[in-house]
Amino acid sequence: MSETPETSQYSKAARNLSGDLYSWLQALVFALLLLILTFTFFGRIISVDGYSMTPTLQNRDMLLLQCVGYEPKQGDIVVLTKEFASVTSPIVKRIIATGGQTVEIRYDENKVYVDGVPLDEPYIKEPMQGPNSSMEDTIYCQVPEGSVFVMGDNRNGSSDSRHRELGAVDQRYILGRAFFVLLPFGHAGPVTHTS
């Protein structure tokens, strides 16, 4: 039985359609694999939980993190995984000092000094009040090499390195540096760091 022109044209169209679908499927699988590999090895997406970084970051902001090749620097906003006190999920904080630096917190002046120099901190929410509890009594710290001293931008609503159980944090607990807010769209954009 020979093909008529109509059946020949139909089978040709079917082959083209199946070829197109196969090409689209390959492209989709490749894009998904690339996305998975990128986020597995180079970055991560994580949600802010709480208000310790307001006004810089808001509760439930979705952050894109730089993970691979990141070296902690003073002023960077990072995500840490170290559990302490009642904190069991990742926390988002700003690096105040790195290994070898000294931190002195002067509540009466509303200032944080690093190596004797007061930090310019236009990002903090409001003036610092004294420690909220006896566990948050750190006012001086010599940061060990390989560690960072972190604080929230909302100093009166942040459990951070001032807390005796957290203190200076080993860099190995850093998941990555927050560099972009993905959601909500009204707050999307690059994360502001200081130097």
Single out the residue of 194, 183, 178 nearest to residue 78, CA to CA: 178
Single out the residue of 105, 77, 103, 84 nearest to residue 174, CA to CA: 77
Q: Check if the beta carbon of residue 173 is closer than 8 Å to that of residue 57.
A: no
Q: Check if the beta carbon of residue 139 is closer than 8 Å to that of residue 149.
A: no
Could you tell me which residues come within 8 angstroms of residue 117 by beta carbon, excluding any fewer than 6 positions away?
none
Residue with tokens 């990141």: 70
Look up 52 and say whether it is catalytic: yes
Catalytic residue among 2, 12, 23, 93: 93
C-alpha 95/C-alpha 76 separation (Å) is 5
Catalytic residue among 11, 23, 52, 161: 52
Look up 8 and say whether it is catalytic: no
Task: List the catalytic residues.
Answer: 52, 93
